[in-house]
Every structure is written in C-alpha cells, then in structure tokens.
A and B are shown apart, each in its own frame.
Chain A
C-alpha cells in the first residue's frame, strides 16, 4: 500500500481491462459451476440409491432426503443471513397440519394439499418475519422457540385439528394413490424432487444478488444497510423462502405417516437437530447441509444398531450422548463445519465445494 500503487489509476467510471472473477459472463455462466455438478450428483445419487433397494432402504433414505431438504432450507436463513432459528420446525409442523387438514377434512388430493401447506408456512413466515426479524442474536433465537411452542399450544386447543391427539387418516385413503405401498413410493419421489428443488434454490440464492445482500447482512447488518441493502425486506424474503419447503415436506411426511399430532409436528429437539446438521456440514455452504444431514442420519443409524459398549453402557442406549459429544467436538474445534473446513484448506477445492 504505497503511493506507487496509485500511479496510473483508472477512475471507476472508465472500463479498465477487467480481471477474471467468478461473477463473470452472465447469469448462466455464473450458475454453471463445478460446484453445482457436485451438488446435483450428490442429491441424485442419493435419491436413486434410496429407490433401488426395497422398502427398508427407501425408508432410511427417505429420512436422509427429508433432513437434507429441511436442513438446506434452514441454511438459507441461518447460513446466509446469520439468523439463528431454533424453531424452524414450526413451518414443517404448521404446513403439515394445514395440508393434513385439507386431506383429512376437506378431501383434497395430496398435490394441492402439499402446495397449500407450503403456502401456509410461507405466509406464516411472512407475518412472523415482519415482527420478529427485528430481533437480533439470542433474542431472535428465543423468539423462534416461543413461536414453535405457542403454535403447538394453540393447535392442542383447536378441536377441528384434533386437539392434543391430532388426526389419523383412514387407511382407505391410500386407495386413490394406488394403495398404501404405492403411496409410500409417491411420497418418496415427491420428497426427493422437492429436496433437489430446495438445494437448487439454496444454490441460486447463494449465487444471486439477493444472496449477496443476505451475506452482507450476516456479516454486519448495520454496515450492509449503510451500503443500501434493504435488510428488513431481504431478511423477510429469506425467511419466507426457507419456510416454504418445510411446509410442503411436512404435508408429505404426515400423509406418509397417516397421522399427525402436536408433539410430533412441533418437536423442538428435531428443530435443534436441524441446526446440528447444518453446523456439522458447514453453515453458509450449499453442500454443507447436504453432507451434514446425511452424515448425522447415517451416524445415528450406525449408533442405534451398534453392539459396542462404553463403561458398561451399550452405545445404542447412549447414542444421543455420543452424538452430543461429537457435536461438542465440532463446535469447539471445527466451527465452520466439514465443508467450511475443506474450503478453507484448499483454494482448488473451493470451485468444487460450493
């Protein structure tokens, strides 16, 4: 940084020969990157693998794909915008309830009911966002817990939604979807495609001007506003987008389970698990939540079926504690998550790991 550096300066308005950069050559050029290929391959491989091994494997991979979708949607708010939501599951539960009600009481088909669930969740986020996104840090995190719990308590008090017992679908309903077995496959593929859409959305957001604004908010909201980022609007949209997909996924999930009840729909622990998945993989990256959710699920399955013992306690009995210990190690020593860590290690890998 010296005076020599400034000799022969170009004023900003003239067009000097531009250096190459990753934002060059139009929108498509910006979106088509090696990183996108890795992401698509990961998701599509998972969805095909899960579909080619019978019902047991399908069930395991359904769960993986579901959590990849949920964690990636959370990442749009958490990873890009920097707002820590503990109650993200409220959109899964609320959308699930609305869609389930449409199927159960109004006799709607799964497709419109799912879209209704998504729209309901997005609308909820729009209303909430305008109110609670003013809060920062711990206050926002606490408010999201409050909203999840308030919603659960509200649903318990609404008889039309089945109160504390929830609602149970008559098994006969699956007949119009080609029988119960076929309905399971339908939900599997729908979830897989939706998860792919979430991940693509997450990728596009990250590569867009909108995403740049979100990341500016994450780094320093006040400074971002001084530079012209309309933070209230951007945050609200990020919240709405991140709520839309869990709403749809919730309808599919509870339709598949054939019942819905408040404790399952608004499960705060599940919500925190989503945070854990995003952290494991790396917040703010597209690939992170995919690997984090997949890794977390696989780890849990492994622990649950393990015969090992530790201090006389079977690993499968203390799987939660083992997962907790792992989480602690990640948070303390690799806070940027696995993908974040890889990205920081090698600039060459960065192109491949978005």
Chain B
C-alpha cells in the first residue's frame, strides 16, 4: 500500500467536513475521488498533504505517518498535488514555476538538473513553447497544465490531482486524460478529484465517493455507477440521475 487513510475526520467549528473516512491505495493505481459539490473532496486532499491538521485519524504514506507534518515535509516524501483553483507563481516564468517543483520536491535537484527536468515536463504537458513567459500570461487551461507540470517535476510517488479537467473544452479534456494515463504508465500513483464522470470512470482503476464528508461507496467504476446511494447523493432524484448517467455513457 502506498497510502493508507484511516478514520480521517476534519471538523471546522461545528461543521464536520470529512467524517471518518478510510481507504487504501495500491501503488500504480488511479483512484477517482468523486462526490457532489461541498462533499469534502478538496478538504480530504488538504488533510492528506498536511494543509489541515487532522481532527482525528491518520494518514500513512509509504509506511510513514503524515499527521502533523508540514506540507513541505510531505512534498519531500514524494507526494505532490495540484490545486483546484490554480495557484501559479505569477511573476516567475513558466519554466521557473516548474523548476520550483523539481528543486524542492522529492529529488531536491540542483538548478541545472531542475532546468532539464522542467523542460522535459513542459514538453510532456505541451507547454514547452511557453517556457519563457511569465506564468500569469497563461490562460486557465494552460495554468492547469502548469499545475500538473510543477507537480510532475517533483517526480512524486503519489500525485493528487484536484479537478484538472474542470473548465477545459472537450478536446482539452481528451488531451489531459491522455496525459494522466501516461503519467500512470511511468509508475506514478494518482488520486484524482473529478466532476467529469465519463473521464474519471474511464481512467480510474477504482473510485471512492464522498457525500457530506462521509465515504458512501467504494469500488470499480462499474460498481460505483450502479450504486443507488451514489446516484441519490448526486442528484437526489434516482430517475433523473439514471438518465443522466445513461447519456454520459452514451
């Protein structure tokens, strides 16, 4: 197991954002994390990579407890992530953004090596032509790719992708899904939060579903899609949900 999430609970004031969530992740898999808006998906990411201290429970990454470690320690251990709302380092160039990931991630590269890795990763995500531009000059789709490039440059064992497909047009989605598959082929384990159902169902080995902070289903994409509770959670109206899912599959 590369990651073991055990009884993770996160309470803000009176609100339980993540409630007693447990799951395991095997190395080399892609795990889809889905759920309605406000289900606590991003909060769960924030609990895993150390942005929020846990109220209860534990996260074990490659045999090591992550609880209480600052985010930079977690990054050092080989866990990288993207942000749902992109956070480019605006006044640095695209290449420098990626170099930050390479320099301070798991491998702790020097600048020379980081430059090489940055250029390779930028080519990989299709941003090589924009390497010398300032990051704030990119459009949203490019910024999402930049997020991904930064995380990849760290050469992580585990990659957390937070809605990298949202806001992309269909062609871009296809391209990005392709990229995600290629990342997995390199042996990087992935957890992806996603709203675009057909994409996440296509690419994931397993899917877990959060609703109101609670894990309500877990299994293969096929198993989860047939789960009554999941359908209700998503739309409240099982019939409507059924129809929409049919359309998505079609």
Contacts and interface: CB of A to CB of B under 8 A. Distances in A.
B71 interface: yes
A220 B96 CA distance: 14
Interface string A7-28: 0011111111011010111110
Contact of B119 (A5, A18, A27, A213): A18
7 contacts: A208-B111, A212-B100, A215-B92, A215-B96, A225-B71, A227-B72, A227-B104
Contact of A5 (B126, B139, B153): B126
Given A219-B92, A225-B72, A228-B154, 12 more contacts: A1-B139, A2-B175, A3-B174, A5-B126, A6-B175, A19-B119, A19-B128, A30-B112, A212-B96, A224-B89, A228-B105, A230-B104
Interface stretch (B13-21, B24-32, B75-83, B226-234): B75-83
Contacts of A194: none
Interface stretch (B57-65, B177-185, B200-208): B177-185
Given A9-B123, A227-B154, A21 B175 contact: no
A227 B100 contact: yes
Interface in A53-104: none
A224 B121 CA distance: 18
A298 B111 CA distance: 39
B89 to A, nearest CB: 4
Contacts of A227: 72, 75, 80, 100-101, 104-105, 150-151, 154
A229 interface: yes
A30 B154 CA distance: 22
B75 A1 contact: no
A274 interface: no
Nearest to B135: A219
Interface in B78-103: 80-81, 83, 87-92, 95-96, 99-101, 103
Given A16-B123, A18-B115, A18-B119, A212 B101 contact: no
B241 to A, nearest CB: 30
Contacts of A25: 112
Contacts of A11: 124, 182, 185-186
Most buried by B among A16, A215, A223: A223
A5 B175 contact: yes
Contacts of B95: 21, 23
A231 B121 CA distance: 24
Interface of B: 49, 51, 70-72, 75-76, 80-81, 83, 87-92, 95-96, 99-101, 103-106, 108, 110-112, 114-117, 119-121, 123-126, 128, 131-132, 139, 141-142, 145, 150-155, 171-172, 174-175, 178-179, 182, 185-186
A222 interface: yes
Contacts of A13: 120, 155, 186
Interface of A: 1-3, 5-6, 9-16, 18-19, 21, 23-27, 30, 208-209, 212-213, 215-216, 218-220, 222-231, 284
Contacts of B115: 18, 21, 23-24
A26 B112 contact: yes
A206 B178 CA distance: 37
> Taking each of B104, B125, B131, B151, which has the highest tally of chain A beta carbons within 10 Å of its own beta carbon?
B104
Nearest to B99: A212
A227 B147 CA distance: 10
A212 B116 contact: no
Contacts of A1: 126, 139, 141-142, 145, 172, 175
